[in-house]
Structure formats: structure tokens, C-alpha cells
Amino acid sequence: MKKLLVTIFFVLLWNTNIYSNDWYTQINEKIYDEFKVNKKMKLPLDSGEWSLIAKDSEMITHGISVSTLTFVQLENNKPIKFFEISRATGLSKWQAYLTSIIEGAVFNAKEGGCVKRQHYNYLSFYKRGSAHNCMTVEILDVQRVLYPSDYDAGQVFTLGIRQWIKKNNIELPKLFLMYSGTFFSTVVRDEWYTVMHAVSPEKFANYKPKFTSRDNTEFHPDNINNYKNAKDIMKNWIEYSANKHTEFENFQKAKKYQRLDLSSIIEIKSTVNKNIKSNKNISNQLIKLNELFQSGALTKEEFTKAKNKLLN
């Protein structure tokens, strides 16, 4: 009997570890490589350890709840990556009332949101009825977000992060490359999800920004054409973000017609990857040809002819 109970305990423990719901993660606890809601809802993350540094959960009314989790990756006590995920649940019963609120928060926001803004490097969205799917790319000005002077309500939402910074004596980079996504469709589920991924330019491209505020940085759309390195980095970041958003759509089980057309961005990356693989294959074949030539299996004329064929 005791042996049976021990077996049942370990089976339950094993299942809990594999299919645990990461919404129940507590401050300072860690997740690895993905964010799991259940067996079917798993959002891939950059590999490694992610520590929860801020958590906000609130029951609003009549079964509607809102939750936000903020995770970080550190190197030498310095944040290199942030991941934030939020959801509002229990929305279906109040859809008629909440639709205008969600639409206002996404498409008429005072800050951020799915609105064309001068500092956005990329914006794409789908909107039909109450459903939406949106992706934005921009530079995250850390001081502006954590200590806003022109948007006082922002102070409330960053309180947990500011407390964590102060308590742990954290050194923050001035700027991050940031991707944000938001998705809502009652056809899929009665939940509204948003995600944010941010990576320091130092970590993403081994690049230290020359200017450190949102509106004067070399990454700003008005300035970026004057800085080739920044332009190349932003192009790569938009490609990275497009893949992140596709993963987010998969995580949400978005319908085909609700998905953004990011093929032009992702195709660029696929073409680059194909060229890299092709170059590697050519290099390997040249090495083999040289080995055959050195061993005497090929004459110099045969070696030269085969090499020119590969290179041309």
C-alpha cells in the first residue's frame, strides 16, 4: 500500500511539473524556455531561466479578472531581456459592454496601443468586429516608462518593477528593443491576451546605443537612415518580432483569417537562412574536393574544373 501511494505521488508530481500553469508562478520563482498555461497552450520563450519579478492580479467584477506577469533574464545583475504577459478573463458574458473598453484601450490609447505613432518602427493589425490582432515594434525608453512625467497612471503599473529594481540594486540599460502583441477574439476564447518581449541592443546585437532617449535615439524612424548599424539591427529585430508574433498567434490558436500577413518579413529571414546553409554546403564540398586533390584522387585540372563549377 505504501509503495502504491509513493508511486501515485511521483506520478502526480511529474504531471504537475510538466503541465503546471505558469499563471500561478510566484515572485522570484523561475520558468524555463516557455510559458505554459496547459498542455495545449505553450508560448515559446528565448531559452534559459526567466525569473518572475512583478505580478499583478485583480478580480474586477462579476467573474472578470485581470493578471499581468513580468519576467526577466539577468547577466551580472543586469537585465538583458524582459517578457511580460497579461490576460483578462471571463469576458464573454459582458462582451457587449466590454468591447468598446477593449477597443478603446487598443486603438485609442493615450500611450502605446495599436495606433500609428511617430516613434513606432513597425505596426500591423487585423480588426473585425470586436476581434483584433496587433503587432508593434519600437524602442523601449526605460526611464520614460518607469518614471513617466506625462502619463501619471503609468506609475501604478510599473510599481512592482521599480520596487524590484530598488530592492535588488539593479543596473538597468537605458534602452531596449521591444515587440508588443495583443489578441482578442471570442470565436477563439473569452480572454484578451497581450505580450511584450524586450531585449537590450547590447545583448541582441552587441551594440551600445549612442543616444539614450526614445525620441533622439538612432533607432527612431526619423533618425535611423543616418545610422547604418542601427538600421540593420532594427531590420533584424523586426524579423525576430515577426517570428515571436507568429508564435503568439499559434499560442492563441488564432484563426487563419485573423492572422497577420508577415510573410514578407519572415521570407527575408528564410532567404538569408537558405543562403547561409547553401554557403556552408559549398564550403564543405570545397573542403572535400581539396582533400581528394591532396590525396591524388583528382588531377589539378579536375580539381580546378570542379571548384569553378561549385563557385559559379
pLDDT digits (tens, 9 = 90+) for 203-244: 999 999 999 899 999 999 999 999 999 999 999 999 999 999
Across residues 66-90, what is the average pLDDT? Answer: 93
Average pLDDT, the chain: 83
Written as nine digits, the cell of 86 is: 497579461
What are the residues facing 117 on neighbouring strands?
Answer: none
Give the gyration radius of the chain's Cα atoms: 24
pLDDT tens digit string along 168-211?
A: 888 889 999 999 999 999 899 889 999 999 999 999 999 999 99
Q: Cite the DSSP H helix spans in 171-299.
A: 201-205, 228-252, 263-295
Across residues 23-39, what is the average pLDDT? Answer: 94
Strands (E), the chain: 30-36, 42-61, 64-75, 78-89, 122-128, 131-141, 175-184, 191-199
State the pLDDT at residue 3.
Answer: 45
Nearest partner of 265 among 171, 124, 139, 149, judged by Cα = 124
Across residues 149-153, what is the average pLDDT? Answer: 54
Nearest partner of 260 among 278, 277, 282, 244, judged by Cα = 244
State the pLDDT at residue 157.
Answer: 54
Q: Is the pLDDT of residue 17 over 50?
A: no
What CA–CA distance (Å, rounded) separates 268 from 154? Answer: 36
Residue 127 contacts residue 107 (beta carbons within 8 Å): yes
